[in-house]
């Protein structure tokens, strides 16, 4: 059942991505010859109009093959009016961007659903108070529940942390202690810490930690829409940063995961509940959108770069160069998939 859920999730994400390409292609009058979920041997095929809809054996990808365009044969072109090549560069860029765009749209709706359903998150209740740091000096005690900071209501630990990190002055805390409300003046100080990538950074801290208590965080429709967009942008930014850290060597290739990791995380999320599954699928959707925008020739981002070159210079990129770069792009993708799979297998056997 876990494998089935993971396959359905992966196939759904691929379908949604390819649907974006398909709809933008049809919008601009491009004939779509094949719409396939998966690669390899065709399991199911049905032709409707000019399009052959396929379900293929290997559910680790998918593709839309438009008239005059084929990733496996970059030299294929067509001058027909309904071909991909005959369209204006801006239209082609929109067709290419359609896939990642639909992934981001899907993520927004999933995050909106999570916000509207509600989810458990850390409450702003103090656990540990570190000695000689701003919290202890200002009078914070273990067990205090933070109600307000500078007059703004605090509902979660994340909100509390964001207030502290972004502060540039002393903060007025209102805490609840033993049934009474107490006002405290806390002056966050800059200390050395580590970010999520393990890099040393400096940030404002008060020296407190949560006690582990959770609270249901639920949003109304309007706020859930805002939450959906914010979480999608936040996730995309995090993935872009992760790719950057991987390129410059801050993150090791040992930390790269593959399809086995996706299956494992999806299975665990589905066991935890609908909200956890929605969150994971939203993150995977953003990940798929961001990675497809990377300037690797075999991906949407690489094709966008070629098309931008044509738009700016008025000349089509050299066919042989495009072909060679696309082959290099496929080599990079296959290598990264192989490394991810190797890391997955290594983690399983260790």
Write out the two tokens for 197.
Answer: 């990538």
Task: Find the DSSP H helices in the chain.
Answer: 2-27, 89-117, 134-138, 157-165, 221-248, 259-272, 274-292, 300-313, 319-349
The DSSP H or E segment spanning 37 is strand 32-48
The DSSP H or E segment spanning 122 is strand 119-122
Catalytic residue among 18, 33, 131, 234: 18
DSSP output for 168-195? SS-EEEEEEETTEEEEEEE--EEEEEE-
3-class DSSP state of 221: helix
Q: Do the Cβ atoms of 183 and 153 come closer than 8 Å?
A: no
DSSP output for 78-118? --STTSSTTS-HHHHHHHHHHHHHHHHHHHHHHHHHHHHH-
3-class DSSP state of 311: helix
Among this protein's residues, is 131 annotated catalytic?
A: no
The DSSP H or E segment spanning 64 is strand 51-66
Query: How many angstroms separate the Cα of 214 from the Cα of each of 49, 84, 157, 219?
Result: 54, 52, 9, 16
Cα(6)–Cα(178) distance, integer angstroms: 47
Buried b (16+ CB within 10 A) or exposed e, 167-206: beeebebbbeeeeeeeebebebeeeeeeeeeeeeeeebbb
3-class DSSP state of 42: strand
Q: Any idea which residues carry the catalytic annotation?
A: 18
């Amino acid at each position: 059942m876990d494998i089935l859920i993971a396959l359905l999730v992966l196939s759904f994400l691929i379908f949604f991505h390819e649907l974006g390409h398909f709809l933008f292609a049809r919008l601009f009058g491009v004939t779509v010859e094949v719409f396939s979920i998966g690669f390899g041997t065709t399991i199911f095929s049905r032709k409707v109009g000019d399009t052959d809809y396929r379900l293929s054996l290997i559910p680790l990808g998918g593709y839309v093959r438009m008239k005059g365009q084929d990733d496996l044969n970059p030299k294929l072109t067509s001058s027909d009016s309904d071909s991909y090549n005959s369209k204006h560069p801006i239209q082609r860029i929109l067709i290419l961007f359609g896939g990642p765009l639909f992934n981001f749209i899907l993520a927004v709706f999933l995050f909106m659903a999570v916000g509207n359903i509600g989810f458990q998150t850390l409450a702003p209740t103090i656990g540990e108070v570190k000695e000689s740091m701003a919290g202890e000096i200002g009078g914070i005690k273990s067990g205090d529940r933070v109600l307000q900071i500078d007059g703004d209501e605090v509902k979660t630990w994340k909100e509390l942390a964001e207030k502290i990190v972004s502060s540039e002055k002393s903060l007025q805390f209102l805490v609840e202690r033993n049934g009474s409300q107490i006002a405290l003046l806390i002056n966050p100080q800059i200390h050395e810490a580590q970010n999520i990538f393990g890099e040393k950074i400096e940030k404002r801290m008060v020296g407190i930690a949560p006690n582990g208590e959770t609270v249901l965080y639920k949003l109304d429709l309007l706020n859930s829409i805002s939450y959906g967009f914010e979480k999608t942008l936040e996730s995309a930014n995090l993935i872009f940063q992760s790719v950057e850290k991987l390129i410059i060597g801050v993150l090791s290739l040992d930390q790269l995961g593959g399809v086995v990791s996706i299956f494992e995380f999806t299975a665990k999320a589905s066991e935890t509940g609908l909200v956890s599954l929605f969150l994971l699928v939203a993150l995977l959707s953003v990940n798929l959108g961001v990675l497809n925008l990377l300037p690797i020739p075999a991906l949407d981002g690489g094709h966008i770069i070629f098309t931008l070159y044509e738009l700016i210079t008025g000349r089509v990129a050299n066919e042989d160069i495009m072909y060679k770069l696309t082959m290099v792009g496929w080599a990079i993708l296959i290598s990264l998939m192989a490394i991810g799979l190797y890391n997955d297998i290594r983690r399983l056997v260790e």
